[in-house]
Amino acid sequence: MIAFIWLLPIFSILFSQKTSGSEKVAWLLAVLFVSWFAWIFYLLLAPIRKKV
């Protein structure tokens, strides 16, 4: 159960359609090293650049 809670942000970013490519990798690294605060920023700010 604890592992699921810890992996929730990672899986939500992996399977999200909001970002792709290097931006997705950057968000994943931020979540791994900064933790849940990065996931909250992801939910609020992603995508950084609008798709053309």
pLDDT, mean of residues 15-25: 89
The pLDDT confidence band at residue 52, using thresholds 50, 70 and 90, is low
What does each C-alpha distance from 33 to 5, 17, 28, 37, 50 come to in angstroms?
16, 22, 9, 10, 25
pLDDT, mean of residues 31-51: 80
How far is it, in rounded angstroms, from Cα 37 to Cα 3?
Answer: 18
How far is it, in rounded angstroms, from Cα 5 to Cα 50?
Answer: 30
pTM for the whole structure: 0.75
Question: For residue 48, is pLDDT > 80?
Answer: no
Residue 15's Cβ-side half-sphere holds a number of Cα atoms within 13 Å equal to 6
